[in-house]
Amino acid sequence: MNDAVTIDRAAAAAAAAKPIAILPLTLTINGEARELKVEPWTTLLDLLRDKLDLTGTKKGCDHGQCGACTVLIDGRRINSCLKLAVTLDGVEITTIEGMGQPGELHPLQTAFIEHDAFQCGYCTPGQICSAQGLINEGHAKNRQDVREQMSGNLCRCGAYTNIADAVLNVMEKQA
C-alpha cells in the first residue's frame, strides 16, 4: 500500500472498463436471514439504506466521524459507513428497525423520549444503537464513563446531557 500512492491512467481506465463483479453475501438482519448480491465497493450503510430500504440508519458524514450510521454487528457497535458489506458474510446485524417497533418500543427508545434526548432526531438511531453497544460492552460504570463512551456519536442539536441521562437510566435498570 505504501508505494501505491499513484495510479497510472491506463490502470485506472482498465479498472473502469472492468465488468462489475457481483458477489454473494449472506447476512442476518434484524433476525431475518437474507441472501444478497453486492458490488464489492458497497458499504454496509449503502446496502441497508439503498438496497434494503432500511433507512432508519442515517448517513451523516459518511467518513466515520459522526456516528449516525452506527449499527450492531454480532452485538458490537460499528460505523456502517466504513464497512464494505461483502466483508461481513455470515454476520448478524441489528439496526434501529430491529431494536423496537411502534407500540413496542425498546427501553432505550422509551428512555430517549422520557428524557427529551433529541431535537431533530437525525442522530438518534445511531445514538440508540451505540447506547445498546455500550451496555453490551459493560465498561461504563457512571455518568462520566457514559459521556466518554458515547463520544463517537455527535448530536448537532446538543442534547448530550439528556442522552447521557437516558442511557444511564436504562443502564441502571438493567444492572
Partner 1 sequence: MIRFDYARPGDVAEAVCDGAGDHVAYLAGGTNLIDLMKENVARPLEVVDINRLPLAQITDRDDGGLRLGALTTNADTAYDERVQARYPLLASAILAGASPQLRNAATNGGNLNQRTRCYYFYDVDTPCNKRVPGQGCGAIGGVNRIHAILGASDQCIATHPSDMCVALAALDAQVHVTGPEGDRTIAFADYHRLPGDEPWRDNTLKRGELVTAIDLPAEEFSTHYTYLKLRDRLSYAFALVSVAVAMRLEGDRIADVRIALGGVAHKPWRRTEAEEAIKNERPSDTAFDTAARALLAGAVGQGDNSFKIGLAHKAIVRALNQAAAGTPQSQTDKRIR
- Site residues for partner 1 per CB under 8 A: 1-7, 11-12, 14-16, 18, 20-21, 23, 40-41, 43, 62-64, 67, 70, 76-79, 81-84, 86-87, 130, 133-134, 137, 139, 144-145, 148-149, 151-153
Q: Is 60:128 a contact under the CB 8 Å cutoff?
A: no
In the bound state with partner 1, the residue whose beta carbon lies nearer, of 113 and 139, is 139
Helix (H, G, I), strand (E, B) or coil at 23: strand
In the bound state with partner 1, the residue whose beta carbon lies nearer, of 1 and 175, is 1
Nearest to 129 by CA among 61, 79, 62: 79
Angle at 163 between CA 134 and CA 138, to 5 degrees: 15
* Distance, CA of 48 to chain centre: 10
In the bound state with partner 1, the residue whose beta carbon lies nearer, of 78 and 108, is 78
Instruction: Please report how close the Cβ of residue 128 comes to partner 1 at its closest, in angstroms.
Output: 13
Question: CB within 8 A of 48, min separation 6: which ones?
Answer: 29, 54, 55, 57, 71, 80, 93, 95
In the bound state with partner 1, the residue whose beta carbon lies nearer, of 86 and 111, is 86
The region that residue 67 occupies, defined by phi over 0 for left and psi between -120 and 50 for alpha, beta otherwise, is left
In the bound state with partner 1, the residue whose beta carbon lies nearer, of 91 and 105, is 91
